[in-house]
Structures are given as C-alpha cells and as structure tokens.
Amino acid sequence: MAEFLDVPVTIQVPATSANLGPGFDCLGLALDLHDLLTGEVTDGGLEVEVVGEGETSLPRDDRHLVVRAMKAAFQVLGVEAPGLRLRFENRIPQSRGLGSSSAAIVGGLALARALVVGGERFDDDSLLFLANQIEGHPDNVAPAVVGGFVVAGQEVADGQPAEVWAISAPIARSISAVAFVPPTGVSTEAARGLLPEQVPHAVAAANTGRAAMLVAALAGAPDQLLRGTEDFLHQSYRSSAMPESFALVNELRADGLAAFISGAGPTVLVLVADGADLSGRCPDGWTCHALAVDHAGVRVVAPAG
C-alpha cells in the first residue's frame, strides 16, 4: 500500500452557519464546534464507528456521507483503497442547520487527501469544487474548508457547477456566536421546498442591502449587526416548518439581538460582539452553545506534521 500512509490520520472539521440572515446561499461562517474523523487504510473491508451525534441513526457502510466523499476524492487522486477503518466523533448536531452534512463532505475529502501519499496535489480549490458538487451550494462547504467568514458562490453551465469561488472576508475578533439548538431537526430539502420560485424586485433589493450591511457590520461595525441580519428573502417562508425557532428569533430580535435561523434551521444563531451570556434565553429542552469563530477550517490534527 505504498500509495497510502501506514498510520491513522485524524481530521478536524468545523460546524458552519449559512445565510446569516440575508446572505442566502452566499454567506457562511465557521464555528468552534468540531467533528473529528479518523481513518486508516487496511488490507480490505470497511469498518465504520460513529460516536456522539448521529450514533444511533447514521449508516455504518458506504452509504455514510464521509465514505462517499472519501471515495470521490480517491477517484480524483487516481487511487483505490483496499479497505478502510474509520471512526467519527461527531459533535455537530445533525439536521439542525449547523453544517453537519458539509462537515461530513469536507472532512471526508480532506481525510482521503491526507491518507494518500502526494495527496496535496488535490489542493483546497479542487477540494472546494468537489465538495460543492456533492453538496449543491457553497455557503456551508466554503467556510468548512477555509474557516472564518466567507462570501461564496458558483458559476453554472448546462445545469452543472462550472466554477466555485470563495473569498475570506474580514470579521472582527470581538464577534462570536450563540447557538440555540432545538431537540428535533428539519431536513434541508424540506426547508428549501417551502421557498417560492420568485420574489418581488423590491424584496430582493431590500435583502441585498441587508447582506451588504452585514459584511460591513462583521468587519468592524458591530452596532449594525441587528440591521445586517434582517432577512426578507427566505426565512419567513420556512416558519411553518419550525414555529418555535421563529418565535425565538422574533423574541431575541425584539430585544435588540442579532438572531436568525442558522442555515435551513431549526437552530437559532445570535451574533454577539461582547461575549454576552445568553444561556438564560435558552428554551426548555433546547441546548445552548457559546461559540467562537473558527479561523482554521478543516485541518489535520494527527499525525502532527
């Protein structure tokens, strides 16, 4: 197995929040909550162990999204692993709008790359492009790859992604996030299915202004976070799928807090600039996570060097 490392490799990949209110399918933020993916090439077979989030529901065979991503990366690299031994320590809640599927995709691609001798030829740009092909839109996968606050998009030709771009945008070090995670999830497909095919021009224009304001607010105008996270484009259409989340968003925003639905929901994320303790605002049965911004993105944590 000269093509592969002969030691296990561990990858750390962050949670992400997409949209951030008005930045539908183009703005994303990496958060300091991580899944750990450990892999080793073996002489044959597939062993998958899952602990933590999803340990009772995720598949243990080649249907697992990490395994599918790894096979896609191996194909790009022109290699085929005879067997794999995998362990996933999941801390990112599943189906909650915190990028668990993007973490699986990006983590799987990065893990496969790290296991291949010379895998660095599959660079981050190529990894991002393939991750976007698997995921379908770049606002979660891009910050999972590069970390921080990211403006991302894609060019499409003949119905297929032709180019993916992701630009790291400045974010003040004082800004962090608080995530309120409900006990049950909502599928991204169901949430996206509630969106209309068209919106009025005035709505689109208002939303563009808010998204531009958010970029400025995150860069160094935190007093504008409330205005910058106001959305007119997509959140209200999804309210029937997550009424408790929308009620919480409305309550928090009424108190001047920059709250919005994280990704497709139902997690509620609040951007704060002063490290405020919001744990007392967490509804019964939900969990509260005070999260810094992850500035590293996906990375190898073992073996060191």
Q: Which residue from 261, 23, 263, 16 is spatially nearest to 152, judged by alpha carbons? A: 23
Report whether 57 belongs to an annotated binding site.
Answer: no
DSSP character for 197? S
Q: Is the pLDDT reported for residue 217 higher than 70?
A: yes
Strand partners, 290: 178
In DSSP terms, 42 is beta-bridged to 83
What is the pTM for the complete model shown?
A: 0.95
Residue 93 assigned as binding residue: yes
Query: Band of the pLDDT at 126, cuts 50, 70, 90?
Result: very high
Q: How far apart are CA 182 and CA 130, in angstroms?
A: 31
Q: Is 102 a known ligand-binding residue?
A: yes
**Residue 152: its pLDDT value, please?**
96
The total of other beta-carbon atoms located within 10 Å of residue 270's CB is 25
Mean residue pLDDT across the chain: 93
Tell whether residue 240 is among the known ligand binding residues.
no
Beta strand 176-181 with 268-272 is: antiparallel
Q: In order of start, what are the domains of the chain with their CATH numbers?
A: 9-169+294-302 (3.30.230.10), 176-291 (3.30.70.890)
pLDDT tens column, 154-170: 988 887 777 899 999 99
- 279 appears as a binding residue in the annotation: no
Which pLDDT value is given to residue 305?
53
More confident of the two residues 193 and 52: 52
What pairs with residue 153 in β-bridges? Answer: 165
Cα angle, residue 219 at apex, residues 127 and 293 outer, rounded to 5°? 55
Query: Is 210 annotated for ligand binding?
Result: no
pLDDT at 289: 97
Q: Please give the single-letter amino acid code of residue 49.
A: E
Where b means 16+ CB within 10 Å and e means fewer, 53-91 reads: bbeeebeeeeebbbbebbbbbbebbebebeebebbbbbb
List all residues 6 or more positions away from 5 whose beta carbon is below 8 Å from its beta carbon. 41, 114, 115, 116, 117
Are residues 225 and 273 in contact, defined by beta-carbon separation less than 8 angstroms? yes
The residue whose two tokens read 């290699």 is: 79
Q: Would the annotation count 101 as a binding residue?
A: yes
pLDDT at 253: 98
- 126 labeled binding residue: no
Which residues are 287's β-sheet partners?
181
Q: How far apart are CA 58 and CA 35, in angstroms?
A: 14
The answer to whether 97 is annotated as binding is yes
CB 292, CB 173: distance < 8 Å: no
How many residues appear in the chain? Answer: 305
The answer to whether the beta carbons of residues 146 and 196 sit under 8 Å apart is no
Kindly report, residue by residue over 220-262, the tens digit of the pLDDT. 999 999 999 999 988 888 888 899 999 999 999 999 999 999 9
pLDDT classification of 200: cutoffs 50, 70, 90: confident
8 is in an annotated binding site: no
Residue 103 assigned to a binding site: yes
Q: Residue 156's pLDDT is what?
A: 81
